[in-house]
Structure 1
């Protein structure tokens, strides 16, 4: 039953990227104006899932959890710096060129999301669902960004959609492989990976999403961040 839940939620999480793509294709002007609200809600969901579920579970399983949480933050920073940001040749460009290397980095990020879901379902159904929801919300926003950036980079629309599907499928692939490989892994090692997963969520929320909300100041953004936190707490209590 656990593997069925994993497959279901990981595929939904992966398809949320494609859903974001189809949203921007169908309602381009509206989505670009309102996407910041989804980003704000995603911040609350990501941070609450990391601090209230992933980190506490990792603390129970391993005493060296903090090394792995910090290590994940540093690793993602380096990957983003050398792969995503390095592709921008202009001094102050706001939209970075999405060449093959950058697209590979984004696909790797989706793979990490899948690994996080696989790890979370190893702990419990509740943690798995919450981690999946966190991925779903921020992957939907990421789908909008990826497709928009690809078009900005003068990529053909059909080719951009194809690339978006490849990025989306990396999530369930990572989840299923991780779940199967970790079947015999000791609990303390699982704690390391959960701490790294928490660090990944914290980095994505703090480094990628929060700065985006500062570009458009609104009390609604603040409210939606808090609503995202409340949403995770409510779902966590409901699932037990």
Structure 2
């Protein structure tokens, strides 16, 4: 049953990526919405789940929050190191970095992290159905609905950093297939709750960095319009609605 439901997540992810691809003439609105969706996923979905699953304290601080900060810092350090390396390589060869001076590898790394998150979604979906039908339905609603945001963000992140459309589509299809793979894996094993919570905390920090330091500033850089801001607020509100319906 979990694998069948994961096929719905597969289609919803593709729908999100298709939407992001079709509205390129309103790029600032796409980025504003993507930033809002990511902020909502982190603050209203990932962090609460991480706190519940990995709530033990380390030197007075919940483990999930420590890993959240670690994820944020890791994303910042990786981006800076890649940017410095790419700039040095470009200077040696007389070439420049990707579009807008951005490093394409950062976009691919971020998209790969989205794929890893979608695998975890599939694992959580399979585990929920093993607990009981009611739990499975609740998790299925959350996974399927927010996978639209995952597909949207995966395609947007990959393209934002100057990667070709072909690469963005490749990462989108990988992200769409990931929940199916994760759900199928629970036929063989069950992932313990605490490692899953730790991963969600770390991944939340990575996503928050990308949203706050990259996507939202880019959205407002050339189009500081009220419509862009409203797309961001709407993205957060949409995730809040999804989380509320899932509960």
Match of 1:227 in 2: 234
* Counterpart check, 1:48 vs 2:60: no
Measure, in 1, the Cα distance between the counterparts of 2:241 and 2:156.
22
Match of 2:67 in 1: 68
* Counterpart check, 1:112 vs 2:117: no
Which runs of 5 or more structure 1 residues have no equivalent in the other structure?
25-30, 151-159
Q: Secondary structure of 1:217's match?
A: coil
Q: CA deviation at 1:192?
A: 0.5
Query: Residues 50 and 201 of structure 2 are in contact (CA less than 8 Å); yes or no, is this contact kept in structure 1?
Result: yes
Query: Residues 68 and 192 of structure 1 are in contact (CA less than 8 Å); yes or no, is this contact kept in structure 2?
Result: yes
**TM-score with structure 2 setting the length:** 0.72
Query: Residues 46 and 202 of structure 1 are in contact (CA less than 8 Å); yes or no, is this contact kept in structure 2?
Result: yes
Which runs of 5 or more structure 2 residues have no equivalent in the other structure?
56-62, 126-138
In structure 2, the CA distance between the partners of 1:14 and 1:108, relative to structure 1 (3 Å rule), is farther
1:21-36 maps to which residues of 2 (within 5 A)? 23=22, 31-32=24-25, 34-36=26-28
In structure 2, the CA distance between the partners of 1:165 and 1:213, relative to structure 1 (3 Å rule), is closer
Q: CA deviation at 1:37?
A: 0.5
Q: CA deviation at 1:181?
A: 5.5
Measure, in 1, the Cα distance between the counterparts of 2:145 and 2:233.
16
Q: Secondary structure of 1:56's match?
A: helix
Query: Residues 16 and 148 of structure 2 are in contact (CA less than 8 Å); yes or no, is this contact kept in structure 1?
Result: no
In structure 2, the CA distance between the partners of 1:169 and 1:136, relative to structure 1 (3 Å rule), is closer
1:186-233 superposed Cα distances (whole Å, 9 cap, x missing partner)? 111111011122222212211221111331211112211111111112
Q: CA deviation at 1:144?
A: 4.5
* Counterpart check, 1:145 vs 2:153: no
1:156-167 maps to which residues of 2 (within 5 A)? 160-167=164-171
Query: Residues 18 and 143 of structure 1 are in contact (CA less than 8 Å); yes or no, is this contact kept in structure 2?
Result: no
Query: Residues 41 and 228 of structure 1 are in contact (CA less than 8 Å); yes or no, is this contact kept in structure 2?
Result: yes
Q: CA deviation at 1:18?
A: 6.7
Structural RMSD (CA): 3.1
222-231 vs 74-83, which moves further: 74-83
Q: CA deviation at 1:130?
A: 4.7
